[in-house]
Structure 1
Amino acid sequence: MNYLLPERLDRLAREYALGTLSGGARRRFELVLAQAPAAVRAVAAWQERFTVLSAGLP
């Protein structure tokens, strides 16, 4: 499976940042994170989005 396809990477990064990626999928994606700077950037971008969203909550 190519984890770096844009749509797939975006979905996996979003789920990883939310903490909803679990089990084997999480472990496999963590291996991708260790080798692919694009994956690290994608997770960081989603973490930033979620931080901005949560800052607006009461």
Structure 2
Amino acid sequence: MPGEFAGKVAFVTGAAHGQGRATAIALAREGASIAAFDVARPLGYPGYAMGSRDDLESLA
């Protein structure tokens, strides 16, 4: 059964820790596609420069 946010895209800031991370996980469990952002990224995750056209295209 699809979740409440199936087919939606959620942009979550502060997603590396705490409430932002919990929000991203909860939305994903409800079927949302997540774009998660944070200035403090955990090791192992790629970083993107939001001002870079190449990085923005990679992110999209």
State TM-score, norm by structure 2. 0.32
Bigger share in strand: 2
Higher relative contact order (CA 8 A, sep 6+): 1
Bigger share in helix: 1
State TM-score, norm by structure 1. 0.33
